[in-house]
Structure 1
């Protein structure tokens, strides 16, 4: 574990923890503000989330190109400074009483833009400083940080609102990114590839070429990205809408939603801690088998929820554990299967496709609801397992491609 904690990684972990706590705290306030500004019209709330994620579709490839051309540190600083300025402006607008739904959505889109530019460099930085051998442990630690933040963020939000108002949560959110910027200043710089000229047309053409080349020459990486994105298409709506709605419908208790998701978070934390013990060799086959298990566990929840609340808590815990295995394996496989100087672009392609699927997930759930009615919950779960099983049959029986980084490099 000492190799995972060093002066090159500690600023990344610290900045990630603080900014993630802010992200999860603001997520609660964002939903409340959106509902209030829309006069509790939940139909338009779905469109708000759709537009919120649209920048991924445009700027995901741009973020990947930046990661492979400019130093990771510079890209991450730019992404977090952009988010800090945007959130600070949102705080000024809110406290001035001038916030409307259009400004709220516009700010959310700019924040998403910042994340699109930040994330590929963030994911490419870890292989630079850890090397292949310590990647699973490093990714596991980042997953634990996110899981801890998912519990701490809403708690911090509740405490701030109890003593103040939503504006002070936005202020805390902006300060979280200011702290993150300060942490990022201590990261190691990597060499940049300044020979690549900026061209929007070239960036998207190159992204298309990389995807086609990946399909023919690196089929397993292509199937990891495509298969995971399809699974996300069914999973996102289950977590955001279907599971909470089912809990309220069956047990008529909104408080149970918080308790159930807290148990799920505990499972994800444990899964992150146990990842390197449970997964000795992260491969595409292992990832897709984990997706199948995730779908099966979610299907079990869809059945047990009608009969036993205690059973729901038990299965939800293991669902969280399984989700952590999936999340860590996704990133590890993309990192280990990517060629040198293509990791940023590959992650940009993954981020673009997966987040587009997440934005469309609510529409898919709506169609399932129209066709299957009350069986939509179980139907979506079955589709996750079927997607994972289908990809397993398409994978080539080979181990992960050699990492461009020497396993013994720091």
Structure 2
């Protein structure tokens, strides 16, 4: 991989896509914090916040798999434009209703469902359009840069969103998010792919579920992709609950937990900074190494180390988290044919979401039976095993060893 982050941004199409998504992610992060505070200010009810979260989650459970299959039948660039219009108009509606004093919590929940539904179609389009504008050996670095920017925008946006709500400027929060969608739309509109590459339609079949089945079979035939998805799904089941439930219990105090999560973010940024050197390893090796590091960190946390050492260990888990996520998206982009790309990405997103949700659901009851330190020790052992298995079983074939099948097939 000879290209650098600077080299990536010199490519017009990627620069447009990247800048639009940075703006959109910043607006989303501001909105994510602001809308929760707005609903609570409107109702004073925790139950209303529960309805909001439900409306943000259920559409993905319904549309997660089928959205990607539909996107494979459509012009992906046009799909991104339409979904940005839909999201921008939806938040604009909230802003108008808020300014006129008629906004209700049910309207906020309805818009939340619309935003999640549109995102279910936007993200598979985004992940599938990257291989149409970049060589395969640049995809890992491009995904890493995009994810790093996303994390930075999320942290900065949440801080700004909290500040805006503290200043009672919900109107400005809504204006910023509305503008971010229309700016994202403009950057996607300006992308100039050759007309033959704007879409890669799949042959129309009897049902959309046959397309999903075909995408699943495509993953099953490509063992490296299947193994990466299964490995990361199992890892998420073992780790997600400990990060979301076990870590706050281990920290004991809110300020300590905040410090640990800051270290987690620092670890992810460090991983992004080193990804060019790490890309000399095969994708499967990166994923396996990520879960191995996760397991080592979890095992060490089981001994309740001093705070400084705990911060280093959590930073290591952040470093590992980046390796267990971005490479899976990349290997799908590299090895799946374009006419199945969005459906395959949706299968991975659904598997990831389901595994993370299951991990959190299982961790709660388990931590009721075991101590938190025992939970970290158990999860650490499982993750070390997950990491060691592929490292022992498979030989690294190099990052750029690809399937014989062409992206154009």
- Whether the TM-score (by the shorter chain) exceeds 0.5 is yes
Query: Which residue among 25, 28, 33 is the counterpart of 1:20?
Result: 25
Contact in 2 for aligned 1:61/1:203 (Cα 8 Å): no
Correspondence for 1:337: 335
Gaps of 5+ in 1: none
C-alpha distance in 2 between matches for 1:47 and 1:294: 34
1:282 aligns with 2:282: yes
Distance in 2 (alpha carbons) for counterparts of 1:234 and 1:286? 18
> Is 1:208 the counterpart of 2:213 in the alignment?
yes
What does residue 257 of structure 1 align with? 257
Bigger Cα displacement from structure 2, 115-124 vs 19-28: 19-28
- Equivalent in the alignment of 1:125: 129
SS at the partner of 1:290? helix
Alpha-carbon deviation of 1:72?
A: 2.0
1:228 CA drift (Å): 1.7
**CA–CA separation in structure 2 for the residues paired with 1:36 and 1:164:** 10
For residue 58 of structure 1, what is the aligned residue in structure 2? 62
Q: TM-score, normalised by structure 2?
A: 0.84
Q: Does the Cα contact within 8 Å between 2:84 and 2:181 map onto a contact in 1?
A: yes
C-alpha deviation, 1:118, in angstroms: 0.8
How much has 1:387 moved relative to structure 2? 7.0
Map of 2:145 onto structure 1:
141
> Which residue of structure 2 aligns with residue 270 of structure 1?
270
Q: Say if 1:235 and 1:384, in contact at 8 Å, map to a contact too.
A: no
Distance 1:389 1:316, change over 3 A: closer
Find the counterpart in structure 1 of residue 365 from structure 2: 367
1:69 is matched with 73
Say if 1:270 and 1:321, in contact at 8 Å, map to a contact too. Answer: yes
Q: 1:309 to 1:231 in 2, by over 3 A?
A: same
CA change 1:394–1:356 in 2 (3 A) is: farther
Q: How does 1:7-406 map to 2 (within 5 A)?
A: 7-33=12-38, 41=46, 49=53, 52-95=56-99, 96=101, 98-100=103-105, 102-189=106-193, 190-193=197-200, 196-197=203-204, 202-215=207-220, 217-247=221-251, 250=252, 252=253, 254-304=254-304, 307-375=305-373, 377-378=375-376, 381-382=379-380, 385=383, 388-389=386-387, 392=390, 399=397, 401-402=402-403
3-state SS of the aligned residue for 1:354? helix
Q: Give me the whole-angstrom Cα distance separating, in 1, the residues matched to 2:198 and 2:52.
A: 39
Give distance in 2, aligned partners of 1:53 and 1:235.
Answer: 21
Displacement of 1:323: 2.0
* Post-superposition CA distance 1:68-105 (Å, at most 9, x none): 222221111122222222222233444535332x4444
CA RMSD, 1 decimal? 3.2
Q: CA deviation at 1:24?
A: 2.1
Q: Distance in 1 between matches of 2:393 and 2:214?
A: 21
Work out whether residues 67 and 344 of structure 1, in 8 Å CA contact, stay in contact via their aligned partners in 2: yes
The Cα offsets for residues 339-374 of structure 1, whole Å up to 9 and x where unpaired, read as 342222211111122223334443222232333253
Q: Say if 1:369 and 1:375, in contact at 8 Å, map to a contact too.
A: no
Count of residue correspondences = 395
TM-score normalised by L of structure 1: 0.83
Contact 1:120 1:344 in 2 (8 A): yes
Secondary structure of 1:133's counterpart equals: helix
Distance 1:198 1:233 in 2: 34
